Structure 1
Amino acid sequence: MKKKQKQGILSYMLIILGAIMASFSVALILLPNDAIDYGTAGVAIIIHKVTGFELPLCVLFVFLPFLVAGYVFLGRKFTIKAAVGSVVYMVGLDFFENIPFEINTEHFLAVAFGGAILGAGLSLILRNGGCIDGSEILANIIVKKLSDITGRNYSMTPVLLAFNLFVYLTVFAVIDATAALLSLLVYFVATTVIDHYTDHFESIKQITIITQDPDGIIADIKKKLNKTCTIMDSRGAIAGENNTLICYISYFELPLMKEIIASHSGSFSTVSTIDEILR
């Protein structure tokens, strides 16, 4: 079996593991302790609590439109991984909800522990090119559209913060203040873990590529990502004359960028996190 195939299988296995961890945390730790997940999963839980509908069906109902949008704007490969993670997450919720399990401790400690497990699971999913939260897909689409229109690069952070602010205000109004505050703790703990293991996935990523085939890489980046590059002449001590390309993309565009770079032999690249671009 080729190395690329092994890596692909491993990525799906880790997405499945991450989805199991996330569903375990939500079903057995967060919900029994009056806290909810954030993002579209949080919206699904609110609908579940208000209507009494089955939680997995609520997750499917809320996430499906975002999954379709992900297919249109982010491509088939991303959608397959997102669909696999989401199906496992929904099956996990249905399975764990029927298991008698209780953490006999304070709500605060239980929610902090559950948030850490949730964050670790979501980190595995994000690092392997998947997603089980529609708010991240929405943020990426908005940022991509703004970038295409203005020619500038934007962080996903404002969109994610606005979306989750809406979720927690809804929890405060529909459920109660305690649930809203505990859910906010979940968000803080989970995103702290995610930021640690994904290097701030919501931020802009700078890709620096050193290559002797700049025209081919630039053409692929323009065609597949609709992005442009800054080109600089450079020289290697061994390779000699080459070019250094700098390109700015989102975290969800990284897998496709890696494929582009891998298809051009002899290229070397690095990835950096950019908090802000000044103009």
Structure 2
Amino acid sequence: MHTTNKNEIGFSRVINFKSILLKILGVLAATIAIKGFMIPNHFLDGGLLGIAILIHEFYHIDVWIPLLLLNLPFVIISFKKIDKSFALHSLLALILLGTYLYVLPIPEITKDHFLVAAFGGVFVGLGIGFVIRSGGVIDGLEVIAEFTNKKFGLTTSEIIMAINTIVFLIIAFFLGLEKAMYSIITFFTAIKVSDYVVDGFEKLICLTIISPNDQVIKDIIVNKFDKPITVYKGQRGNLPGSFTISHDCDIVATVVTRLEVHNIKKAIAHADPKAFMFVQNINEVKGGLVSRESHH
């Protein structure tokens, strides 16, 4: 019987057609952002991309050179500390990005500062998002965040925000406050777009229901929609005007995707119009029946 080792699995994931296609789309979008919007208008982004463009502004070095050199140590870190397959995906994406930046003649798309900041961010976000979905990254800050998240428990957003605050302060000092403010617009646009590309309609949310008809609610979620549930023992009642009145009940919670939640809420409301429901966004899910395959 043939045994597949981790290196074979990692290599097969790198040459997977879907991952290659996502990398090509992501790298193309990032190249359009860098050469079509940002560099011609002397705009910057956060992260190592922003630092690479800053080096390009000061020393007139082709931007792909500092971008690759800055990211290479973090690829090595991810190979040793995080995941070999993830590192190989990232290295391939960076090589593609460097090649695209070197060979593709992207013309300047607009000079309008707001459009440059907004759509530069959109294309950067598309680039980052598609590459993450392919299993890698094109910005080493993601590697720092991933490693620090595992070691210290800080969220990826907290780590990236702290590092980028320093980057934006440097931009403000050397290039002026206006450039820094436009860079912040680009950065936040890129974050929102990349988050949507990565999670999209598959983003998981927690739906919690409090109802006197808790058995009916459980039956709808588990048997009609085939979703697992978690049940908390609680109380309902204690309302204004009848504060002392309360009743024991089961509080039902389930984790579903953005596409599924509407139909589940509709079915519950039909069965019990007075059921109390609320939803919460979930940043991370591990274990259980709702875990999705990691993008890495």
Interval of TM-score (by shorter of Structure 1 and Structure 2): 0.5 to 0.7
Structure 1 or 2, whichever has the larger Rg, is: 2
CA RMSD of aligned residues (A): 3.4
Distance 2:137 2:66 in 1: 17
- Given candidates 110, 113, 120, the residue that maps to 1:107 is 113
Count residues in correspondence: 211
Q: Which residue of 2 aligns with 1:269?
A: 290
Q: Residues 56 and 143 (structure 1 numbering): CA distance in 2 closer, same or farther, change over 3 Å?
A: same
In the alignment, structure 1 segments of 5+ residues that lack a partner are 148-153, 207-235, 238-243, 245-249, 262-266, 273-279
Distance 1:67 1:24 in 2: 24
Q: Residues 75 and 270 (structure 1 numbering): CA distance in 2 closer, same or farther, change over 3 Å?
A: closer
Q: Within 5 A, what are the aligned runs for 1:187-202? A: 187-199=187-199
Q: Which residue of 1 aligns with 2:35?
A: 27
Contact residue 79 and residue 86 of structure 2 kept, 8 A: yes
1:108-133 Cα shifts (integer Å, max 9, x gaps): 11321121121112111112211001
Q: Within 5 A, what are the aligned runs for 1:73-222? A: 73-96=81-104, 98-99=105-106, 101-147=107-153, 154-199=154-199
- Given candidates 42, 59, 75, the residue that maps to 1:51 is 59
Q: Which residue of 1 aligns with 2:271?
A: none
Q: Counterpart of 1:269 in 2: which secondary structure?
A: coil
Contact residue 33 and residue 111 of structure 1 kept, 8 A: no
Distance 2:138 2:15 in 1: 20
Percent identical residues: 27
1:177-196 Cα shifts (integer Å, max 9, x gaps): 22212111111111111222
Q: TM-score of the superposition, structure 1-length normalised?
A: 0.66
Contact residue 38 and residue 116 of structure 2 kept, 8 A: yes
1:23-55 Cα shifts (integer Å, max 9, x gaps): 121111112122112211111111222222221
Q: Counterpart of 2:61 in 1: which secondary structure?
A: coil
Whether 2:59 is the aligned partner of 1:38: answer: no
Q: TM-score of the superposition, structure 2-length normalised?
A: 0.62
In the alignment, structure 2 segments of 5+ residues that lack a partner are 1-11, 206-221, 224-229, 231-282
Give, in angstroms, the shift of residue 271 of structure 1.
Answer: 4.7
1:119-165 Cα shifts (integer Å, max 9, x gaps): 11211111221100111100111111124xxxxxx411111001111
Q: Which amino acid aligns with 1:140?
A: E
Q: Counterpart of 1:32 in 2: which secondary structure?
A: coil
Give, in angstroms, the shift of residue 270 of structure 1.
Answer: 3.6
